Structure 1
């Protein structure tokens, strides 16, 4: 085991418990949870496996420094005191890719970024006894967040956000991200031996994420990470070993009944293309179909969907017709469960039934609700 780091993974607000469960499931202990962020301890192998395997995390960060600062002088001196040389080699290219501040005395992102970068340069100049950085080596992006005057300096091991799995090239307007789709599926009791239909599948995010789960395909298997070039922190063969292990765990023979419907032929074309790139196209049945034709002969299935809610449809009358049709078709499905993420405030009214539960979720900056209609549980299978 190498050096132990405090790591943290940002996630969608309200999804911390889902991510915590995921981190535990891949074998690591969560140390603390705050809004939109889960902390855990681990070494270089943990960094690799977390990037490859976590479905609901947005990034995997190394917590380089955490301190209180209410003035720019305090910010500068605390960053300068951090042992940055443990992370950045003399030829490393480093920068502050993002700064954010909430309820804090220091609030200007551009000022925070420039002062943190200046402090980092001063620290490394003195440690390495150099006056100029070639920055020809690996890339080391840092992110700064300040909440209630507590500053967190994080080193981003992922690079591009983890919702970019590498499969979604073709997209349609207003999709949910892959990480949010995975988290919403995990909030339901759906398992791979149960039916799942998305009647508004768009570019296929829900059904593709469900198929990846069913086949046990690691979500990061088909993409690269910025920390793959950090041979000062992560052993280069660690990535290959982790990917080999993930490949061995794929279940190609799993039987599924996952279906994606959409009335839009272009959306279905995108969905099929994305499913093919994700390696799950054979596990999903796509069909051009109006929601009014939604039906299934079997019991105990699931609808998990992100219907239009005004962003894509101009007229309220169209929304009324669409949600009413979905409500009628759901009522005709015996023992099914339905989970809808929507920003439309009249969702329950036109579905024709109050949800058993609903929870507020931010899809980007848009406030939405996840309406949960619980169907009957299937009888336990006789052994």
Structure 2
């Protein structure tokens, strides 16, 4: 039986749910509901594919299979067993079960996993009339997520997290997830005609994500997903959506982003990553100290992820770096500056209070996105730039 309609759930890092929701709406999806750490929406088969290919800031895309209350393992077992698992998982399917539990009566993850797995097996036995499942086929990963005794059962369409674009095999010491990098570019409202510099670019993630946005290149175009191997997901749908995405890449763009770092190894890695991502023609990387930052452009953006100084021994050095950044950035006083850091005292060290501040999470690290808005360019400048 072909399943036609789905309720999807795109998970997101705390603080960027609204960015993910905007991306989902821009892709044309309906009934979008924003909650902590996730965005739900209605979709069809093609929408599953489109979501995985195009969502830049989401962590994963799940199919929501059920939602129910459970404060006992019996209630959990019965709730999971109610799902028509054979509509999703074939007899040879591999179906690992993962679990999350927050502020719930059922808190043992291993017990939640084993009882949910047993419930899935019992339900599949009814359809396939067998006592044993070899699980040698494609992967159908199940997530049982419990929050305050409310259970949501999800099927993972993505496989590896969506931040795995396929271009970053190597990184520097303080990697920024590709999904968060894309969200920061979105929050800054950067557009391709605006000059953009990352003066502490590390492995180049912020600039590569900006280039992918500028070229309108789907971030998931060069990777694989679990759901493309599913028996009820026609290969033709994937082929059509991938070809459509390839045809939507802009060929007539003429923007150049700039990335600098004092570490030559980081610059080498950044160039390799940009090459793998197919955006090397849009980014100029150079070994250069932030203390030498300058630009001939009257208006532009600085967007950067400097070291945080998480170890006490690094704090003084990092605060000195922030002070140097403040001295150099202020010389570009008609530019806008955007800085993400976990350092609570950034503004004091930098020497200027941000226009706006947004709390975000880089993995498990609580960070702040400091936004310093420069003056708006005159309308004439914007119009001339857009015609480049």
Which category of TM-score, normalised to the shorter sequence, fits these structures?
over 0.9
Alignment check: 8 A CA contact 1:53 1:219 kept: yes
CA distance in 2, matches of 1:315, 1:153: 43
What's 1:115 paired with?
A: 115
Alignment of 1:88-237 (within 5 A): 88-96=89-97, 98-232=98-232, 234-237=233-236
Alignment check: 8 A CA contact 1:20 1:30 kept: no
CA distance in 1, matches of 2:161, 2:220: 11
Alignment check: 8 A CA contact 2:25 2:32 kept: no
Q: What is the SS of the residue equivalent to 1:33? A: strand
Q: What is the SS of the residue equivalent to 1:93? A: coil
What's 1:239 paired with?
A: 238
CA RMSD of aligned residues (A): 1.4
Instruction: Quote the offset at 1:312 in angstroms.
Output: 7.7
Q: Residues 149-202 of structure 1: CA distance to partner in whole angstroms, max 9, x if unpaired?
A: 111110000000000000001111121100000011101121111011111110
Alignment check: 8 A CA contact 2:53 2:220 kept: yes
CA distance in 2, matches of 1:16, 1:52: 18
Q: What is the SS of the residue equivalent to 1:139? A: coil
Instruction: Quote the offset at 1:283 in angstroms.
Output: 0.4
What's 1:272 paired with?
A: 271
What's 1:41 paired with?
A: 42
Q: What is the SS of the residue equivalent to 2:169? A: coil
Confirm or deny that 1:74 pairs with 2:78: no
Instruction: Quote the offset at 1:237 in angstroms.
Output: 1.1
What's 1:323 paired with?
A: 322
Q: Residues 10-57 of structure 1: CA distance to partner in whole angstroms, max 9, x if unpaired?
A: 011111111111011111124312101000111110000000000011
What's 2:352 paired with?
A: 353
Alignment check: 8 A CA contact 1:31 1:40 kept: yes
Alignment check: 8 A CA contact 2:193 2:255 kept: yes
Question: What TM-score comes out, normalization by structure 1 length?
Answer: 0.97
What's 2:24 paired with?
A: 23
Instruction: Quote the offset at 1:335 in angstroms.
Output: 1.0
CA distance in 2, matches of 1:197, 1:377: 18
Alignment check: 8 A CA contact 1:313 1:319 kept: no
CA distance in 1, matches of 2:297, 2:174: 31
Q: Which runs of 4+ in 1 moved over 4 A?
A: none
What's 2:281 paired with?
A: 282
Alignment check: 8 A CA contact 2:21 2:32 kept: no
Greater alpha carbon shift after TM alignment, 130-139 vs 358-367 = 130-139
CA distance in 2, matches of 1:252, 1:313: 47
Q: Residues 79-118 of structure 1: CA distance to partner in whole angstroms, max 9, x if unpaired?
A: 111111111112211111x211111111111111111001
CA distance in 2, matches of 1:30, 1:171: 38
Alignment of 1:301-320 (within 5 A): 301-311=300-310, 314-320=313-319
Unaligned regions of 5+ residues in structure 1, if any?
A: none
Instruction: Quote the offset at 1:2 in angstroms.
Output: 6.0
Pick closer, same or farther for the CA change 1:31–1:198 going to 2, 3 Å.
Answer: same
Instruction: Quote the offset at 1:343 in angstroms.
Output: 0.8
What's 1:5 paired with?
A: 6
What's 1:298 paired with?
A: 297
Pick closer, same or farther for the CA change 1:249–1:44 going to 2, 3 Å.
Answer: same
Pick closer, same or farther for the CA change 1:313–1:174 going to 2, 3 Å.
Answer: farther
Greater alpha carbon shift after TM alignment, 287-296 vs 130-139 = 130-139
Alignment check: 8 A CA contact 1:265 1:288 kept: yes
Pick closer, same or farther for the CA change 1:118–1:357 going to 2, 3 Å.
Answer: same
Q: What is the SS of the residue equivalent to 2:125? A: helix
CA distance in 1, matches of 2:182, 2:5: 28
Instruction: Quote the offset at 1:257 in angstroms.
Output: 2.8
CA distance in 2, matches of 1:251, 1:32: 31
Instruction: Quote the offset at 1:320 in angstroms.
Output: 2.3
Unaligned regions of 5+ residues in structure 2, if any?
A: none
CA distance in 1, matches of 2:201, 2:48: 32
Pick closer, same or farther for the CA change 1:135–1:37 going to 2, 3 Å.
Answer: same
Instruction: Quote the offset at 1:313 in angstroms.
Output: 8.9
Pick closer, same or farther for the CA change 1:289–1:331 going to 2, 3 Å.
Answer: same
Alignment check: 8 A CA contact 2:90 2:231 kept: no
